[in-house]
Structure 1
Amino acid sequence: MKRTSVNPWSWSLKLGYHQAEILEDIKRQLVCAGQTSVDAQGNPQHTDDMRGQMALALENLEAVLEAAGMSLSNITRLNIYTTDMDETMEHFDVLGAGFGAFNATPPMTLLGVTRLAIPTLMFEIEATAAD
Structure 2
Amino acid sequence: MEKRVINPWKWQDERSYVQAVEVKNAQSTLYCSGQAAVKPNGQSSSEDMRAQLTEAIRNLEQVISDAGYECKNIVRLNVFTTSSEELFSCFDIFQNWVVKYDIKQASTLLEVKGLFETLKVELEATVVK
* The two structures share one fold, judged by TM-score above 0.5: yes
Does residue 1:57 correspond to 2:47, yes or no? no
Q: Give the root-mean-square deviation of aligned CA atoms.
A: 0.9
Q: 1:75 matched to which residue of 2?
A: 74
Q: Is the 8 A contact 2:3 2:24 kept in 1?
A: yes
Q: Distance in 1 between matches of 2:44 and 2:100?
A: 27
| Counterpart code for 2:119 | L
Secondary structure of the structure 1 residue equivalent to 2:34? coil
Q: Is the 8 A contact 2:5 2:104 kept in 1?
A: no
Does residue 1:127 correspond to 2:125, yes or no? yes
| Counterpart code for 1:21 | V
The gaps in structure 1 that reach 5 residues or longer are none
- The alignment's TM-score, normalised by the length of structure 2, stands at 0.96
Q: Distance in 2 between matches of 1:51 and 1:21?
A: 28
Q: Distance in 1 between matches of 2:91 and 2:28?
A: 29
1:1-131 counterparts in 2 under 5 A?
1-45=1-45, 47-118=46-117, 120-131=118-129
Q: Distance in 1 between matches of 2:58 and 2:47?
A: 18
Q: Is the 8 A contact 2:82 2:121 kept in 1?
A: yes
The gaps in structure 2 that reach 5 residues or longer are none
| Counterpart code for 2:44 | P
Q: Distance in 2 between matches of 1:105 and 1:90?
A: 22
- The alignment's TM-score, normalised by the length of structure 1, stands at 0.95
Runs of 4+ in 1 over 3 A off after TM superposition: none
Q: How far apart are 1:48 and its partner, in Å?
A: 4.2
Secondary structure of the structure 2 residue equivalent to 1:26? coil
How many residue pairs align between the two structures? 129
**Identical pairs, percent:** 36
